[in-house]
Amino acid sequence: MEPMLKMLLSRLATAVPSLIGVVIVTFMLTRLLPGDPAAYFAGLAASPQAIAEIRIKLGLDKSLPEQFVAYIGDLLHGNLGSSLSTGQPVVTEIATRLPASGELTLTALILAVGIAIPLGVLAAVKQGTWIDHLCRIVTTAGVSLPVFFTGLLFAYVFYYLLQIAPAPTGRLDVFLSPPTHITGFYLIDSALTGNLEAFWGALRQLALPAISMAIFSLAPLARMTRGSMLSVLGSDFIRTARASGLAPRTVVFIYAFRNAVLPVITTLGMVFSFLLGANVLVETVFAWPGIGLYAVNALITSDYAPVQGFVLTMALLYVALNLAIDCLYGLVDPRVRLDS
């Protein structure tokens, strides 16, 4: 385990400068947002004197270096500030909304992996057949269709025209009560507590946004799986394995797929980072109460603290994702641990 630990510590050390850069850039960009937070907070009928007093209260009357020093001091104490719109601490708001975004992202990723990897393997094994052509059509459609357009199209067709999907109004129908909070994931919490009504209600609400994101993310996964498998299936050791009389399934899944999986894992990490960004669009389309919608509302009102908290949270998730991918590398290919 020592090589693996050494590799993780090395990756973590290289991530620190990136996080520092994210903090600096986010702070500067939020100060360039149009609009005056003090004027928004004071209201349309506020006098210039009242707006000036609020600016002093929010610390916006200080110079940028002074504001940055105060911001760093708050960060070191785990304080991301408070939202002007809700008056709640940003840490509390993000912690409340993060499970909603996590449930949506992970569900979409599971759907994408469950479809893309088998489809890519079959397309490589059955090259030139209808399965291969289907894989190409699916990947082309997934790359070509913007995720927000797919979401709007699904909502229009399945909710407005066919009326077989629930209204895109969040995680649960307004007539249902949320399940007892355990993990914050409605599907898991309702299953653990035996609340089948809430489970099916949450699943119906989750279906369209998750499928919209899955279509967006399965294209690069299927394409990379197909390309990597084709490269490995043409190798000498695969021809030797086939000549030795091994079963085709053993050759494909034990020998070929294991050697082809590293590029797929790399693409998986990239796709997950794409999904974190796509959350903002999908949550806005389906009124999903996650951190993406929270950030959009904060941007509209020039609310600095939630925007900074959102970007910092995304950066931390990205670092954690890279560490998880490195762990998968080490588990799949021991040479990665030894080289590190």
Cβ(226)–Cβ(123) under 8 Å? yes
pLDDT band with cut points at 50, 70 and 90 for residue 42: low
**Count helices and strands in the chain by DSSP H and E runs:** 15, 0
Q: How far apart are alpha carbons 269 and 218 in whole angstroms?
A: 12
Reading the block at residue 66, the tokens are 């002074």
| pLDDT of 192 | 92
Q: How far apart are alpha carbons 161 and 183 in whole angstroms?
A: 35
Assess whether pLDDT exceeds 60 at residue 163: yes
Q: Which of 334, 337, 327 is nearest to 258 (CA)?
A: 334
Domains and CATH numbers, the chain: 2-76 (no CATH), 93-300 (1.10.3720.10)
Q: How far apart are alpha carbons 214 and 110 in whole angstroms?
A: 8
Most confident of 39-43, 83-87, 96-100: 96-100
Q: 201: Cβ–Cβ under 8 A, 6 or more apart, which residues?
A: 166, 172, 173, 176
| pLDDT of 340 | 52
- Phi, psi (rounded to 5 degrees) for 249: -65, -40
Q: 197: Cβ–Cβ under 8 A, 6 or more apart, which residues?
A: 176
- DSSP letters, 44-92, are TT--HHHHHHHHHHHTTTS-HHHHHHHHHHHHHTT---B-TTT-SBHHH
**Residue 218 φ/ψ region, left for φ over 0, alpha for ψ in the -120 to 50 degree band, beta for the rest:** alpha
To which H or E segment does residue 154 belong? helix 147-154
* 218-256 pLDDT, tens digit each: 888 998 999 999 988 888 888 888 888 888 888 888 888
Assess whether pLDDT exceeds 90 at residue 210: yes
* 283-322 pLDDT, tens digit each: 999 999 999 889 888 888 777 788 888 888 888 888 888 7
pLDDT band with cut points at 50, 70 and 90 for residue 185: very high
CB atoms inside a 10 Å sphere around CB 186:
25
| pLDDT of 311 | 84
| pLDDT of 268 | 85
For residue 37, the Cα-to-chain-centroid distance in whole angstroms is 28
* 124-154 pLDDT, tens digit each: 988 888 888 888 888 888 878 888 888 899 9
Assess whether pLDDT exceeds 70 at residue 188: yes
* 271-290 pLDDT, tens digit each: 888 888 888 889 999 999 99
pLDDT band with cut points at 50, 70 and 90 for residue 208: very high
- pTM of this prediction? 0.82
| pLDDT of 278 | 85
| pLDDT of 316 | 83
